[in-house]
Structure 1
Amino acid sequence: MSLVVDKKENSKEFVKNILSEIWVTRCPVPTATGISLKRGTLVKKFEKQGIDVAVLQDARKGLSVHHFDHQLPALFREGGNVPALAARSEGAPSRLIGLTWIDEWQVIIVRPDSDISQPEHLKNAKVALPEYADKRAGSIFRAMSLQGIRGALQLANLTFRDVNFIEVPERAGSKENRDASTYWSGLDALITGEVDAVYVKGASAVEAATKRGLKVGIDLDKFEDVTSRVNNGTPRPITVHEDLLEDHFDVVVDFLEELFDTADWAQDHLDEVLVILEDETIAGAESVATAYRNNFHKSLHPSLSEDRLELLKQQKDFLWLHGFLERDVDIETWVDHRPLLEVLKRRQNKNF
């Protein structure tokens, strides 16, 4: 039985009494959730409890909105922080239970004949900035690009005043198109000379840049200053509907435990992880191998460390400052440490 409800006041009682199905959603990026789904281990874990695992990406169209609004009572989400923070700022009943950090080829792309190879070279450059989407919470590509350029400029002690932003379409293809390389509309403007530099990230960006014969001008992943890479996926939140957390705490802990087990497995199975990511990221093998490097497969474990929470706060402050959030978000009241602490306790007990 689905846990979709029409009336908010009924949802809590509904979840509390009946839990035959949980929902899972993730983004086309490396996540323990996605890997666990592909391996079948997440489904097996909950089969033992008589709970089905439904994937939001496979559901009917009307449910897809919950990837962004977090109003589905039995939903787990591991994905970008822009939609998660935007939903929370609009009052979504979500709680933050974990954060991951995976460097994923955050780069500034330029034309083959460009002299832009260092952050300081961006001064006076024309930089692509995707238009706003229909909704504030959906303006993910604009938020990512603006934050990515900020990170590059920061490395050279430059600011937004030192570049010229040129608006480009939100994305290059239809939203129904499974070709993720169409996400990066600024690349076409780069080819025509309308802009000089474009921020991109991930395997889909490798695919898109390679198809167009473009090159990396600045590789943000190579700089020691991690704050220059704070963006939509860094850090990446794991969130859950608060009703599920309160009424079925053990289920939430079990889910998080499965992510830890998957992260353990990934540490010793890089080749298998890369194959899974080809499907997860909608990209080819070479693009996946290029985008995900530096032992990324050893860092899939969730955390709520002070460092990661501070990096998330930096991202939240940026989104709030630049108008991507309806209201400010209090990270401290959003986070719930209990499930993670319980998982760590379970794992410690297993080692004795």
Structure 2
Amino acid sequence: MAPPILWFTRCPVPTATGIAADLGWLSAEFAPDGIAVRSLQDGVSPDEAETHYTHALTGLFREGGNVPALWARARGERTRLLGLTWIEERQAILTRRGEPVTSLDGLRLAVPRRDISIDFWRAMALHGFAGALRADGRDLADAVLVEVEAAKDAPQWEAELTALAKGEVDAVYVKGALAVEAALRHDADVAVDLDALPDRRARINNGTPRPITVHQTLLDERPELVVRFLAVLLRAADWAAREPTELRRILSAETGAGGDAVARAYVHQPLHPDLSDERLGLLAEQERFLRAHGFLETAVDVHAWADPAPLTAARELINKETP
């Protein structure tokens, strides 16, 4: 029996899921089957909204940060990894304007703390700083980590950048389009442009690589729905490559940032997922970092977590439909 509802959730970043939702393609795909498609971002109950992190909702597809996805898996939730994307997201370390910094060695680094199920903000800052320090032959032990309390619903980076402006910390990790706007608002300088570092491992973080996951229950009971959902995402990724102007509009709506910030933060690049050895290896490195810093209760074997069959079947489905 078909589920009455398929759920999806995504983070406010470039995703094929967000594009497909904006275009109405997800609803259109499943409406003939009498299956409703709903987003966790559309005014659901607090318990339902929390499944963005826990993935306890069995009919849920999630395209978002890897910290909550790995955390849910490590806690025993029966999810499967369907694909990974890699989107360069304007990752940077900011410092006060007019105070040039050549190294993070010995500096006070802002490490936010939020009272949420899994503090991915904290994880992002730690790994962002670790990537910058590693490029300089250093590690987190060579800097001073300063706790910065942030309200659960505080705007992105505001608590950390306020601490920077007050002189309480020397550096802040940021990413994405909203970070571009926040840096301008707080008159901060880019001390380390992580996107410019030649080793992409310096940019491994919550969104790099970004996973698409589904609950094992749905995959077991209705694998064809999973394949069709992924096929819609692949079509949306193809569309995004052909429509840069419309893509910019959608990403502005998805991220909450202006068009200029979107253009500066997100280099035009493919949104297509894969499960290549390279991306799985990058995710495995993120898993080790998160476990080493206490974010994961148990180890996650990312290769065992991945199931390539649905994405392969989705590509085959598209090829059959293409004249």
TM-score range with shorter-chain normalisation? Answer: over 0.9
* 1:276-331 alpha-carbon deviations (Å, 9 max, x no partner): 111111112222111112x23xx100100000000000000100111000111111
Unaligned runs of 5+ in 2: none
User: Does the aligned pair in 2 maintain the 1:184–1:205 contact within 8 Å?
Assistant: no
Q: In the aligned structure 1, how far is the partner of 2:193 from the partner of 2:246?
A: 26
Task: State the number of aligned residues.
Answer: 322
Q: How far 1:132 moved relative to its partner?
A: 5.5
Match of 2:87 among 102, 105, 110: 102
CA-CA distance at 1:218 after TM superposition: 1.2
1:196 maps to a residue whose letter is: D
Q: Does 1:124 align with 2:106?
A: yes
Unpaired segments ≥5 residues, structure 1: 1-16
Candidates 150, 157, 162, aligned match of 2:137? 157
* Structure 1 counterpart of 2:69: 84
Partner of 2:124: 144
Deviation at 1:183, TM superposition (A): 4.0
Matching residue's letter, 2:4 = S
Cα distance in 1, alignment partners of residues 300 and 278 from structure 2:
18
Cα distance in structure 2, aligned partners of 1:321 and 1:274: 37
TM-score (norm 1): 0.88
**After superposition, where does 1:121-270 map in structure 2 within 5 Å?**
121-131=103-113, 133-135=115-117, 138-169=118-149, 171=150, 173=151, 175=153, 180=155, 182-270=156-244
Q: Structure 1 residue 332: deviation in Å?
A: 2.1
Give the Cα separation in 2 of the matches to 1:265 and 1:91. Answer: 36
TM-score by length of 2: 0.96
Q: Give CA-to-partner distance per residue, 1:253-297, whole Å, 9 cap, x none.
A: 00100110000000011111111111111112222111112x23x
CA distance in 1, matches of 2:289, 2:47: 31
| 2:292 matches 1:318 | no
| Residue from 4, 7, 22 that aligns with 2:6 | 22
Between 216-225 and 301-310, report the one with greater CA deviation: 216-225
Aligned partner of residue 320 in structure 1, secondary structure: helix
Q: Distance in 1 between matches of 2:99 and 2:87?
A: 29
1:51 is matched with 35
Q: Secondary structure at the match of 1:48?
A: helix
Output the CA distance in 2 between the equivalents of 1:38 and 1:114: 43
Q: 1:134 to 1:45 in 2, by over 3 A?
A: closer
> Identity over the aligned pairs, expressed in percent?
45
Letter in 2 for 1:329: V
For the aligned residues, what is the CA RMSD?
Answer: 1.5
Is the Cα contact below 8 Å between 1:110 and 1:216 reproduced in 2? yes
Does 1:67 find its partner at 2:52? yes
- 2:301 is aligned with 1:330: yes
- SS of the aligned residue for 2:80 comes to strand
